[in-house]
Structure 1
């Protein structure tokens, strides 16, 4: 009996490793469509069809901004009350590209996560009913001198208020930091597949603004465990999850008919028209 159990265990483990190898191989072989949208900045898109990635169809799009003095700078766009589409935020700020930001109050507007812009606090965290810190309050995108980085909660109550960064957007969960994978809880939000939005930073300082479409036959969406894998396969050493679902939107100037690169799911159609209005974004534009 023990021998049979060992064989079954080895079969399960080897099968799981084999599946991971197939996924990473499919990802490595992808021939991404590339479009330059600004200096040192490109849009990448790829449709994984025939259930070739994580046993599902997937559509992934991202903007990569090189760590270069001629590249655009990073900014946070927000509105305290009104909800606005990512594309409208981008056009308002004359951006080259933008993605939806962190979580927000869909009924009343405004971020439910801490946001600071130009050293001014715009929103504080809205506490959970159990007074525990939410998963999306345990990490942050920070921007200083138009450069973006990712930070992790240090365990203190006033962490975000004590940081000296000029611009900050809390979100999460954190996927990895400095080449160390984060341990993700097995809660439904992490395990189930949804459209996803993420920010990643490579060891050389290049930044990725990424979306994964979901809730469609052409793209199933990803769990956070799967999202962490693709961020790693893209070469990121740090990565953070932002608000996803119907909010997931990537916009790039002069891209396609309306600039929307991915297929937002709010209209339940496989097109570029289904944007959800959001409270905040991360965008890039020329440095002043």
Structure 2
């Protein structure tokens, strides 16, 4: 009887490892390909970028949507107050996303302005001014404390992301960061998003904390967005949270030892 049980356990393990291996192989294969999604309402191109001289690997996604409602957000557990964390991949699948990235760690602290789908969830001052996505799909960053959450909603804010900092404003690196050493020298895994034009965006996810990729600084990120024509760009949660999910697969290599980290919120695009 014991022998039979052991054989069953061994069989289950072999099957599980086999499926895991196939999944990992598929993900690794995708990491070095240009990935494309094209429909009548949504266009996505993801390009892997390797800079050997900087020991940096990142993915650059260019996204064009037809309607502003196609740029969306979701909370872990489906609710701001769920009290649980979930993987980017789970939230993406639960919300029929085509492309998803980690958000702004909304419940990591009790500070910050949190607006999602035009509803105010929190209205407190944080250390960084939030990224505002309005009902036209346009990005804005106001001065810290310039607007309350209610004022933002009155002016058309649909979503805010308050991790920060802002990387590009009016096509340039903000003056208050231009001489800050940490802005240009601290290399980390990062997730950031910028706007290139009406309903057109650029997402950059950079790996880090590994022999294959050290990470990227805010200054380097800003230059990447400027070089791609973005007038505004903003840094989201990074480190082990940095995750790029596309049509069923995590494309990058999250830096946590356990792999994909459980987080509080995502930003995503859908049909």
Q: TM-score, normalised by structure 2?
A: 0.74
Structure 1 unaligned blocks of 5 or more:
1-31, 128-132, 268-272
Q: Name the counterpart of 1:130.
A: none
Pairing 1:269-280 to 2, within 5 Å after superposition: 274-280=259-265
Match of 1:63 among 58, 61, 64: 61
Match of 1:73 among 54, 70, 92: 70
- 1:264 is aligned to 2:254: yes
Q: Which runs of 5 or more structure 2 residues have no equivalent in the other structure? A: 1-31
In the alignment, which residue of structure 2 is the partner of 1:161? 150
1:278 deviates by 1.0
TM-aligned CA distance change 1:154 to 1:111, over 3 Å: same
2:73/2:265 contact within 8 Å kept: yes
Q: Deviations over 1:181-224 (max 9, x none)?
A: 21316264763100111111113541112211111111111111
Distance in 2, matches of 1:167 and 1:190, equals: 31
Alignment RMSD, CA only? 2.6
Q: Deviations over 1:150-188 (max 9, x none)?
A: 212245454333112342223211111232321316264
For the 8 Å contact 1:200–1:237, the answer to whether it is kept is yes
The residue aligned with 1:175 is 167
Give how far 1:59 is off: 1.3
Is 1:284 aligned to 2:269, yes or no?
yes
- When residues 241 and 36 of structure 1 are mapped into structure 2, their CA distance, relative to the original with a 3 A threshold, is same
CA shift digits 1:17-46 (9 cap, x unpaired): xxxxxxxxxxxxxxx942222424224232
> Structure 1 stretch 240-249 or stretch 111-120: which is displaced more?
111-120
SS of residue paired to 1:228: helix
1:30-109 counterparts in 2 under 5 A?
A: 33-39=33-39, 40-51=42-53, 56-68=54-66, 73-79=70-76, 80=80, 81-106=83-108
**Cα distance, 1:285 vs structure 2:** 1.0
Higher percent of residues as helix: 2
Q: Secondary structure at the match of 2:138?
A: strand
Cα distance change on mapping 1:72 and 1:148 into 2, 3 Å: closer
Residues 113 and 169 of structure 1 are in contact (CA less than 8 Å); yes or no, is this contact kept in structure 2?
no
Q: Can you list the C-alpha shifts for 1:217-271, whole angstroms capped at 9, x where unaligned?
A: 11111111111011111221110111111110010114xxxx101111112xxxx
Partner of residue 214, structure 2: 220
Question: What's the counterpart of residue 120 of structure 1?
Answer: 119
Q: Post-superposition shift, 1:99? A: 0.5
* CA–CA distance in structure 1, aligned partners of residues 92 and 186 of structure 2: 30
